Amino acid sequence: MKAKRPAPKKQVNKQPKSKDPIVLLAAGLGNPGVRYAATRHNVGFRALGHFGVKLRRPLFNRFEYGVYPHAGGSVGLLRPLTYMNRSGEAVQRVIRLSGLESKQLVVLCDNIDLEPGVIRLKRGGSSAGHKGLKSIIAALGSEDFARIYIGIGRPEHAASVVEHVLGVPDASEAAQINDACRRAAQAVLRLAECELSQVMNEFNVRS
């Protein structure tokens, strides 16, 4: 008697999906791995952590993705795992799979021209030298997306910018940055509800 063959495994769907329509994609930028987790450059990753959603890595894809159900419309949460200077690859792929437009994207990233604890919202403009933004602009062929800049301050004394952004802040500064990450997450939810100009008026102020 021949042994029964095991039933074929179900094919894994590699596309991020949600039962509710996604009205906004929030891409938090950073570098993957424990080495970079607490650095200033990873504030985008940490901001998404304030949603309390488990992000999962779809098979054969280099990003983590999850959905936050929200009354104003569900928000897609994306962490590229391609390292900062190739963030655009993951952003472009998820936008295409989700059927979204670049104007429905908001990128959360660090900014050295803002003091720790300060956030700023803006739509459009150049990358201003930020490699993550530069990669996204190149991949999408557009600058027409919103950004939430999270302040990390400029380096003191003779420290280089690279050393600063890849450095770990002290406890006092880390608390300020974490509060800014929390407010950045709140700003994302407001963007799912109302126009950017209104959210800018609410959040583009000193805490």
Q: Where are the domains of the chain?
A: 22-203
Greater confidence (7 vs 159) lies with 159
Global pTM reads: 0.89
Which pLDDT belongs to residue 71? Answer: 84
Which pLDDT belongs to residue 73? Answer: 85
Q: What is the pLDDT of residues 64-102, one digit of tens each?
A: 999 999 987 899 999 999 999 999 999 999 999 999 999
Pairwise CA distance, residues 64 & 123, whole Å: 24
In 3D space, the residue among 111, 141, 140 whose CA is nearest the CA of residue 47 turns out to be 111
- Domain 22-203 sits in CATH 3.40.50.1470: yes
* Average confidence score pLDDT of the chain: 90
> Is 70 marked active-site?
no
Question: Which one of the listed residues 41, 70, 130, 157 is annotated catalytic?
Answer: 41
